[in-house]
Amino acid sequence: MGEFSKVERTGPGGRILEVTLSRPEVHNALHAAANEELGRVFDEFEADPELWVAIVTGAGDKAFCAGNDLKVTAAGGKLAFSKGGFGGLTARYDCVKPIVAAVNGVAMGGGFEIVLACDIVVASERAVFALPEPRVGLAALAGGIHRLPRQIGTKHAMGMLITGRRVAADEGARLGFVNEVVPHAELMSAARRWAEQILECAPLSVRASKQAAYAGLDAPSLREAVEGRYDQMAAMMKSEDWVEGPRAFAEKRKPSWKGR
């Protein structure tokens, strides 16, 4: 457990890392020290071969993360991110392990940018999303300006980016940045269900799929995306799991993934 976060290994084989942003007294808003701590948490997640999936959520029932701690900034505190970006995640472009956001309440500004940096988003029916930075003379500089149009299309994104308006969980699902909306009490069980479904798949296949999907979005054409070279694909094809999957299917049994 850190000063500004709680970390726990859960799930089958302890393969899931649950990370809870823990500054509930300020709606889990983050300052420089919290960002640095979370950067270390996700560095360790990436480096640990026994961890295959992460879930990130917020402490309490009101907020996932209210974004940057503006009171600290206004008092002269520096606005600093770790090398992984806001919350240790928004600049973690090369992370090939999947990350699930379990959004338990307000996700504003940098908090919403953390959500957008995750691969799967499960939202409580109480969740609310916004990039309100223009309302306080700022802009969503931790990736929100660029991730949101890529995820929901330009017009829908501009409708949020240049108004700062709030979007409820159900609308987030309709727009396409939320995968599932659940009753508040079922949030973590739903997020764990998604994580455990990922664990049913070969971890190197999951990582190869994630890497290729995101990298392919930056390719000039579909053909170049399909024909691109991805190191996680190469690792998958050389792995024990590449043999184990078809063998388990042929033998009508559950595969035993090694992640190597």
Residues belonging to the active site:
113, 133
User: Are residues 66 and 105 in contact, defined by beta-carbon separation less than 8 angstroms?
Assistant: no
Report DSSP state, residue 85: B
In angstroms, rounded to a whole number, what is the distance separating the alpha carbons of residues 39 and 32? Answer: 11
Residues in contact with 37: Cβ distance below 8 Å, sequence separation at least 6, in sequence order: 2, 3, 4, 5, 88
**Sign, CA torsion 82/88/91/94:** positive
DSSP secondary structure string, 42-109? HHHHHH-TT--EEEEEESSSSEEE--B-HHHHHTT-----BTTBGGGTTT-TT--S-EEEEE-SEEET
